[in-house]
């Protein structure tokens, strides 16, 4: 049994932490709201702040929304760094800026500790099913040590490279996901406007070369109008901002990535920032003055 810490018990963090508990590990937790009762009932031990978590645990996982949140959790007064001692490990599973990640890793390693960046893909469904894709940056020996814990939360687990490379991989993932959501939205809108049943069109496409996880999961959301999050539009906006700012630094043009960000922005401007990112289809529907299916 390992002594583990988990900070950030939101939509994703709660089921991920639950899998660690279910495997019999001691789990010390902290979150900015109340610790979910399900975790307390399973034996999670609440802590007053990140430093308290780090004092109790040998490996500390963080799962918070954005780069400033990770910096605050790690380095603000009462943060994780304050409670670390040599030989411990910090694993950030948030999706944040790769450049900032490299700085965070250096600062944690200066304390005699190890650092992995390990963002995930798979959303709430993958978190609950312990089937997340986990993209890891860091040293091989640290990855090998944490791998059995990753395997409790995910299935496709890859050491991509050094610190920051896991986050770079996640940014690439978010580009692909966003553009696929846009493609599915436009295809189903076209089918619906032309008079075909979008549910039947989706069903047919699932058996062909256009089949994808996005068509399967988010295509169904678009047809059934179920946009409660999974993964909020405002969080995907944050990830696409990372892609576009990184592209500027690298001297790259990402034209379709820039365009899909405008569609997310149109959704946010219409009060939909907190909806699931599959609601990107609403921006396309607004422009076409037609909906894929009637709203519930």
Q: Which residues are catalytic?
A: 170
Residues 163/103, Cβ–Cβ less than 8 Å = no
Pairing assessment for the beta strands 120-121 and 132-137 based on DSSP bridges: antiparallel
**What is the C-alpha to C-alpha distance for residues 157 and 138, in angstroms, rounded to an integer?**
13
Site of tokens 């780069």: 67
**What is the C-alpha to C-alpha distance for residues 96 and 242, in angstroms, rounded to an integer?**
8
DSSP state of 36: P
Pairing assessment for the beta strands 154-161 and 132-137 based on DSSP bridges: parallel
Torsion from C-alpha of 52, 54, 60, 63, nearest 10 degrees: 40
Residues 168/140, Cβ–Cβ less than 8 Å = no
29: helix, strand or coil = strand
Q: How many CA atoms lie within 13 A of 261 on its CB side?
A: 16
Residues 180/214, Cβ–Cβ less than 8 Å = yes
Site of tokens 């670390």: 84
Nearest to 53 by CA among 19, 17, 102: 17
Residues 116/166, Cβ–Cβ less than 8 Å = yes
Site of tokens 């699932």: 206
């Amino acid at each position: 049994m390992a002594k583990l810490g988990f900070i950030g018990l939101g939509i994703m963090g709660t089921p991920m932490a639950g899998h660690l508990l279910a495997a019999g590990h001691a789990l010390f937790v902290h979150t900015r709201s109340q610790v979910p009762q399900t975790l307390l009932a399973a034996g999670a031990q609440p802590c007053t702040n990140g430093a308290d978590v780090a004092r109790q645990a040998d490996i500390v996982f963080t799962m918070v929304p954005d780069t400033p949140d990770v910096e605050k959790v790690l380095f603000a007064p009462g943060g994780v760094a304050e409670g670390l001692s040599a030989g411990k490990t910090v694993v950030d599973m948030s999706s944040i800026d790769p450049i900032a990640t490299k700085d965070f890793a250096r600062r944690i390693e200066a304390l005699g500790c190890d650092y992995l960046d390990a963002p995930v893909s798979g959303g709430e469904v993958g978190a609950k099913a312990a089937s997340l894709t986990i993209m890891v940056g860091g040293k091989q020996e640290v990855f090998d040590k944490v791998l059995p814990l990753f395997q409790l939360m995910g299935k496709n687990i890859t050491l991509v490279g050094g610190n920051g490379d896991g986050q770079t991989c996640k940014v690439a993932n978010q580009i692909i996901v966003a553009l696929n959501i846009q493609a599915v939205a436009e295809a189903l809108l076209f089918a619906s406007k032309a008079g075909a049943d979008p549910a039947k069109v989706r069903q047919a496409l699932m058996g062909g070369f256009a089949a994808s996880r996005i068509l399967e999961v988010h295509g169904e959301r678009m047809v059934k109008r179920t946009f409660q999050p999974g993964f909020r539009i405002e969080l995907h906006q944050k990830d696409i901002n990372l892609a576009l700012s990184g592209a500027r630094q690298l001297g790259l043009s990402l034209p379709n990535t820039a365009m899909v960000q405008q569609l997310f922005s149109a959704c946010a401007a219409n009060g939909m920032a907190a909806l699931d990112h599959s609601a990107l289809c609403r921006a396309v529907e607004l422009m076409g003055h037609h909906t894929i299916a009637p709203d519930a």
